[in-house]
Amino acid sequence: MKTYKYITIFIAICTSLLFVQCTDADDSDNIIGLVTCDDGLQNGDEEGIDCGGTICEACVGIVDFSGTYVQEDQMGRPGINTVFGTSGMKDSFNTTIPSSMGAAFQSSFETKLLGLNPAYTSNALGLDAATFTTVLANDVLWVAETGTTTYFNGTEILTGRNLTDDVIDVSLLLIFGGPAGTDNPTLTSDFVSANDVTFSSSFPYVANPN
C-alpha cells in the first residue's frame, strides 16, 4: 500500500529583521511538499529511508545491528565488586572471563576477606577462607534448573536470586558471622530486610517506577 503524507512548508518571506527595508511586503507562501514511503529518501518524520515516523512502516527490517561489541562490565553475584573489589582490580575484574577469574582473583579476595574480618576462620556454610573465596571469585550466579530459586531462604542456599532476597545480609553473615553465624552481631545485618515497594507475582515482577 502506498502511503502519503503532506508536509506544509510555510515560508515567511522577508520577515527576517535583516531585510527591514522590505518587511512591509506582505508576502508569504505555502508550499505543499509530498513525502512518500517509497521515494528512497529519508524525509518528513521518517526515522530511516522510507520507514518509521507517523506514516511509514516501522524500520525493523533495516535496523543496523552490525559491529563488534567489547566487554566493559560484568556481574554474576550481587555485591562482589563492592565488598571484595580491592583497589586496583576493578577494571581487570570487569574484563576477565569467568573461567579465568578464580586464578586471577581468589587470593586477593582472601586477603580482602581477612582484612574485613581478621578473626575469620569459617562461616555458617562451613567454608574456610580459601574455599569461600574460591566460590566467590568465580563470579557467576548459580540458578537451579528446577525448584526453588533463592540466594538463601533458611534452607536452600545459592540456588538463584529472587527480588526479595536480602543478599546483603547473606553476604555480611557469611563474612562476619563466624561458623555459627553469631559473631559480630552489629555487622551481620544492615537491618534493611526488604524493598520499600512490594513486587508483583507476574511478569515483569519488578514494581513500577516511583
Partner 1 sequence: MKNTMIFAFVVFLCGCNSEKNKAITSPLDYDQYLNTYVSWSKESALSEIDFWQSRFEDDSTKIVELGKLAGLYTTLFSATGDARKLYRSEKLLKKAIEVSAREKDTYFRSLAHNYISQHRFKEAKVLLDSAYAFPDNKRETELMLFDVSMELGDYRAADSLLGKLKNNSDYNYLIRLSKWSDYKGNLDAAIRYMEQAKSIAESRGIKTLKVWTYTNIADYYGHAGRIKDAYNHYLKALELQPDNAYAKKGIAWIAYAWEGNTLEANRILDSVMKGHKAPDYFLLKAEMAEFDEDSSEEKKLRESFVNLVETGDYGNMYRTYLIELYAEINPKRALELAAVEVGNRTTPETYQLLAYAQLKMGNKEEALRIIEDHVVDKTFEPMALYYGALVFKANDLNVRVNELKKELKTASFELGPVIMRRIDML
Partner 2 sequence: MKKTKIFAAIGGLGLAALSVFLIAADHIDAPAVAGTSTDIADFYSFQGEDPNNLVFVVDVQGLIAPGQPTEQAVFDEDVLLEINIDNNNDLVEDLVIQAIKRDTTMYFFGPVAPSQTGLNSAIDEANMSGSVPISTTTDIQTTTNNGIQFFAGPRDDPFFFDFTRYNEVIAGSATGFNNPGADTFEGTNVLSVIVEVPKSMLGSGVVGANPLAPTVPVYNVWVEAKRKQ
In the list partner 1, partner 2, none, the entry touching 41 (Cβ below 5 to 8 angstroms by class) is none
Out of 3, 25, 130, 206, name the contact with partner 1 by CB under 8 A: 25
Rule CB under 8 A: which of 158-187 touch partner 2? 158-163, 166, 168, 184-187
- The Cα–Cα gap between 200 and 206 comes to 6
| Coil/strand/helix, residue 93 | helix
**What angle separates helix 98-116 from helix 129-137, to the nearest 10 degrees?**
140
Out of 97, 118, 119, 154, name the contact with partner 2 by CB under 8 A: 97
Grid coordinates representing 116 are 574485613
Residue 17 in contact with partner 1, rule: CB under 8 A:
yes
Query: How many residues belong to the site for partner 2 (CB under 8 A)?
Result: 78
Out of 1, 8, 9, 118, name the contact with partner 1 by CB under 8 A: 9
Q: How far is CA 132 from CA 33, 157, 183, 197, in A?
A: 70, 14, 17, 33
- Inter-residue contact 36 to 2 (CB < 8 Å): yes
Question: Please, which residues have CB within 8 angstroms of residue 188's CB and are 6 or more apart in sequence?
Answer: 169, 172, 173, 176, 177, 181
- Inter-residue contact 171 to 79 (CB < 8 Å): yes
Q: How many CB atoms lie within 10 A of CB 121?
A: 10
Pick between residue 31 and residue 97 the one whose CB is nearest to partner 1. Answer: 31
Q: Which residue is listed with cell 574456610?
A: 128
Residue 13 in contact with partner 1, rule: CB under 8 A:
yes
**Nearest-approach distance from CB 12 to partner 1, in angstroms:** 6
Residue 142 in contact with partner 2, rule: CB under 8 A:
yes
- The Cα–Cα gap between 189 and 198 comes to 21
**Nearest-approach distance from CB 187 to partner 2, in angstroms:** 5
Residue 90 in contact with partner 1, rule: CB under 8 A:
yes
Rule CB under 8 A: which of 14-53 touch partner 2? 47, 52
Pick between residue 160 and residue 179 the one whose CB is nearest to partner 2. Answer: 160
In the list partner 1, partner 2, none, the entry touching 201 (Cβ below 5 to 8 angstroms by class) is partner 2
Pick between residue 28 and residue 193 the one whose CB is nearest to partner 2. Answer: 193
- The Cα–Cα gap between 206 and 104 comes to 35
Interaction site with partner 1 (CB under 8 A): 9, 11-19, 21-22, 25, 27, 29, 31, 33, 82, 85, 87-91
